[in-house]
Structure 1
């Protein structure tokens, strides 16, 4: 039975829950295939992914530096100014007590640079810069119109390839395009 909203492409195949109908695409089957479009047996194991040495914390020097970065950036969500203050205090205490040791991070820039150098699997970071470029006829131009903004990202195609290769996701998501509707035919 085809969906009332799109009778040609979707076919009602299953009820997900009471009152919820899932319409799967009629022709895009989600069959697993190789880079050339040849179907692969669903039970075929993917090529092995090289395991990382458990003591390799790159781009961090060690586990302590990684955990410190994770705490400051993710858990505490500490501001750049407070990171600088902490690194300054930390560096001062290490210098006087231990005779010249450096803190794990010199300042917030060193912390951010280390975090940003982390690869996502083998997906590199990419970036572009953006600036407002239309003619502005105003006398007092807002500051944002005159600034250059830098955007960092991972290429989406590479992220998806890595996700599909990750065995932890095996059997956890549906490859077939679908639409969910209530039985009243509301999205």
Structure 2
């Protein structure tokens, strides 16, 4: 993350840790047996990252944020994205294509990073969203060749990208801001 706001930086790292936990967890819906341990380990690492940088958010809560004065608009955009994900999942379920729900939610999440980059004044978030969207597009061919839920390949892809981004951001945080404590 490339931001001058320490609280936003710490929050994004912590949030990406939580979200990597969630995506690795969703990936455990029906993975190959040999991948289950890796998914569990990814979830555990995500929680550790979230805990460490969650504390950093707590200690910097009174610091400035790029969202100051924009919370309402940020909430509206996130609310619309959640609605888009929910409506898409509803349509997929009604069409008997519920197995695509993980992929659809991941697309919405990836695209969510474009406005988030504007709100947080951090173009690296847009880069993350583009990388995720390209990966999701590449997965479509593989996903079409099976009738299994899309969560197994999509969950790890999203989890890994979020965790790698959080790791790089944590290194930048430590180098520029210092200890999360």
TM-score by length of 2: 0.26
Greater length-normalized contact order (CA 8 Å, ≥ 6 residues apart): 2
Structure with a larger share of its residues in strand:
1
From the CA coordinates, give the structure whose radius of gyration is larger.
1
TM-score by length of 1: 0.25
